[in-house]
Chains A and B, each alone.
Chain A
Amino acid sequence: MGIPALPATGQTRRLHRLDRAVLAVNRALMIIALAGMAVLIFANVLLRYLAHDGLVWAEEVSRYLMLWMTFLGIGPVLRLGGHMAVDTLQQKLSPGGARAVRGIIVALLAAFMAYFIYLGVIYAGRTWVQATAITEIPFSFVAGAVPVGFALALWHLCAIACGFIAEGRLETSADLDPEQAASL
């Protein structure tokens, strides 16, 4: 991944290692969620035709896995520039002007994410008494994807904020081609 070498003070190096670990766990959880969804739905189809019986909970659980994958993905996708945006204005502006615009974008994003952590916590709290239709777990376990996802997104935003504001730089990885994400 295109990470610039950091000054080798103990503090920043520890932070950098922590950041790598957060990203790795975040990515692994997304992989598990997608693989889990695919296996559950496929197993359900097979069971229906081979054993004339389905897993009643498979559909519900895989829908919730998809929700978690989506909200867990906000941050990692942001790091790689995978949320499509129109950057024509930044290209037309002077370097200083473009930096100012990117500063505003980061500030707005941070405020938005922080507000949604707050809204998500309230929402998850309110749905503690509300059970899901089939598995009958508290809906909070599903709604929790919102505050957790936005909290991780805020972490990932902080990780790229300096490089992005200064030079419009994002990370690159084989996990995502921003051009591909931009034109589905």
Chain B
Amino acid sequence: MIAGVLFGGLTALIILGMPIAFALGMSTLLAVLAQGLPSVAVAQKLLAGADSFPLMAIPFFLLAAELMTSGALAEVLLRFAAMLVGHKRGGLGYTNILTITFFSGISGSALADAAGPGAILIRMMRQSGYPAPYAAALTATTSMVGPIIPPSIIMIIYALQDDSVSVLDLFLAGVIPGLMISGSLVLYNFWESRRRHFRAEGTSPTLPTVLRQGWRALPALMLPVLIVGGVHGGVFTPTEASVAAVFYALACGFLVYHTLTFAMLPAILARAAFLSAAVLLIVAMSSAFAWVLTVVQVPQALSQWIGSLGLPPLGFLLAINVFLLLFGIFIEPLPAVMVLAPILAPMAASLGIDPTHFAIIVIVNLTIGMITPPVGGLLFITALVAKVSMSELNRELWPMLALQIVVLALITLVPAFSLALPHWLGGP
């Protein structure tokens, strides 16, 4: 009954067009009043939900990515990737995939990828005669790797919601699935370049060029290694790693590339602060929402129900995948993880599914929702930059989207893709 008020209120408010953070808050308040709980507790839960040291990694990673982008790092990575693969047939397509994959090691979100290097690459591809819808679809799909290759904001939030996984394990577990997404697109670009006779740009680089450009790109390429290596080696916690990334980005911008000035800092800080506030408000509101869910024992009831069905783990995973794909069409990954992880993770655990493997399935799945028409967040921005209509974009998108579903199926069926790296590096 109270669960009906919660979910019914949430759905109605979201359809009305209420910002999701407030839709979560309002439906929580409604359920609390209907249940006769003290409403001051909602204010307390709101505060407690955002009062967390691990959560602080989010503003810091956002700030690091802003500093790196303003510091022209996206362009350095782009030039390096273009030199490596630009001379092949369909070279700019490969450059696109490679640049965004590199950049994902700096940014923790898909939109940072699409809006940063993605926008530059779409313009370059259009000027070189690639079909604009192809460029837009490829950029949107490649940007999916942003939250899958570490660092990742979604993974930090997932680890907060499910105690049985660690941020470090999730970061490590995301590396191979992220590369699988990029790899599948490389294969697709190879096939399409042959079929449609895309051009090559420039000539193959000489060894001195490779070394020179590689040296220049090295500071940017090292960042993910520093973050994951530092956390794994016990040098610092994920939050401290994220603040180290901020000062590393500052050092790169001021000392290595000379692209940052002190006058730029207030605007960069403001952008990161605004974006962080938007994210953290959703986290705060969803934690109040999740608190009411637990009070009325929704996760427990659902776990029992799933248990009573006697599904085999694989059947459960397939059912969850279909459910999440449908759910992800309408809801962005961030609120989805906040609301669903506390419900789904215990169900998976009760069936003996590895929690880290399950987290990767959920995250990859919800990220696919960002490129699923009609409301995929990534599609809007790439269509806008490429100046193509949604229907033109969608025609190019379907094969790439289908490929990602195949990748998701592989990740679901073969736990080793997610678990090999955390196990090999001896996670706790």
Q: Which residues does A use to contact B, with CB under 8 Å?
A: 27, 30-31, 33-35, 37-38, 41-42, 44-45, 59, 62-64, 66-67, 69-74, 76-78, 80, 82-90, 101-102, 104-105, 108-109, 112, 115-116, 119-120, 122-123, 126, 142-143, 145-146, 174-177, 179-184
- Residues of chain B within 8 A of A176, CB atoms compared: 271, 274-275, 278
State the CA gap A104–B246 with chains docked (Å). 41
State the CA gap A37–B22 with chains docked (Å). 26
29 sampled A-B residue pairs with Cβ under 8 A:
A27-B270, A30-B277, A31-B269, A33-B273, A41-B240, A41-B243, A42-B246, A45-B243, A59-B53, A62-B56, A63-B51, A64-B51, A69-B277, A69-B280, A73-B276, A76-B277, A86-B20, A88-B374, A109-B18, A109-B22, A112-B25, A112-B26, A123-B40, A177-B115, A180-B275, A181-B274, A181-B275, A182-B377, A183-B109
The yes or no answer to B279 lying at the interface (CB within 8 A) is yes
Binary contact track B272-298/A, C-beta < 8 Å → 1, others 0: 111111111110100000000000000
A143 CB → nearest B CB, Å: 6
The yes or no answer to B266 lying at the interface (CB within 8 A) is yes
Q: Which residues of chain B (9-31) have a CB below 8 Å from chain A?
A: 13-22, 25-26, 29
B284 CB → nearest A CB, Å: 7
Binary contact track B330-351/A, C-beta < 8 Å → 1, others 0: 1011100000000000000000
The yes or no answer to B42 lying at the interface (CB within 8 A) is yes
The yes or no answer to B94 lying at the interface (CB within 8 A) is no
The yes or no answer to B39 lying at the interface (CB within 8 A) is yes
Do residues A174 and B271 form an inter-chain contact, with CB atoms below 8 A? yes
Contacts A67-B51, A180-B115: A86 and B270 contacting too (C-beta < 8 A)? Answer: no
Could you say which of B42, B55, B247, B271 contacts A119, with CB atoms under 8 Å apart? B42
- Residues of chain B within 8 A of A71, CB atoms compared: 281
- Residues of chain A within 8 A of B51, CB atoms compared: 63-64, 66-67, 142
Residue of A nearest to B334 (CB): A184
Do residues A184 and B55 form an inter-chain contact, with CB atoms below 8 A? no
Do residues A108 and B18 form an inter-chain contact, with CB atoms below 8 A? yes
Q: Which residues of chain B (222-278) have a CB below 8 Å from chain A?
A: 236, 239-240, 243-244, 246-247, 266-267, 269-278
A116 CB → nearest B CB, Å: 7
State the CA gap A43–B19 with chains docked (Å). 37
Taking chain A's interface residues, is the majority helix, strand, or loop, or is none over half, making it mixed? helix
Do residues A31 and B266 form an inter-chain contact, with CB atoms below 8 A? yes
Do residues A183 and B60 form an inter-chain contact, with CB atoms below 8 A? no
Do residues A41 and B56 form an inter-chain contact, with CB atoms below 8 A? yes
- Residues of chain A within 8 A of B109, CB atoms compared: 183-184
State the CA gap A69–B56 with chains docked (Å). 11
Residue of A nearest to B266 (CB): A31
Could you say which of B112, B247, B375, B378 contacts A86, with CB atoms under 8 Å apart? B375
Do residues B375 and A73 form an inter-chain contact, with CB atoms below 8 A? no
State the CA gap A86–B378 with chains docked (Å). 14
Further pairs besides A34-B269, A183-B370: 19, Cβ < 8 Å = A27-B270, A31-B269, A38-B246, A45-B244, A66-B56, A70-B50, A85-B19, A86-B14, A108-B18, A112-B26, A112-B29, A122-B40, A146-B47, A179-B115, A179-B380, A182-B377, A183-B114, A183-B377, A184-B154
State the CA gap A102–B18 with chains docked (Å). 9
- Residues of chain B within 8 A of A101, CB atoms compared: 16-17
Do residues B330 and A179 form an inter-chain contact, with CB atoms below 8 A? no
The yes or no answer to B363 lying at the interface (CB within 8 A) is no
State the CA gap A38–B268 with chains docked (Å). 13
- Residues of chain A within 8 A of B97, CB atoms compared: none
Do residues B18 and A70 form an inter-chain contact, with CB atoms below 8 A? no
The yes or no answer to B59 lying at the interface (CB within 8 A) is yes
- Residues of chain A within 8 A of B278, CB atoms compared: 73, 77, 82-84, 176, 181
B38 CB → nearest A CB, Å: 10
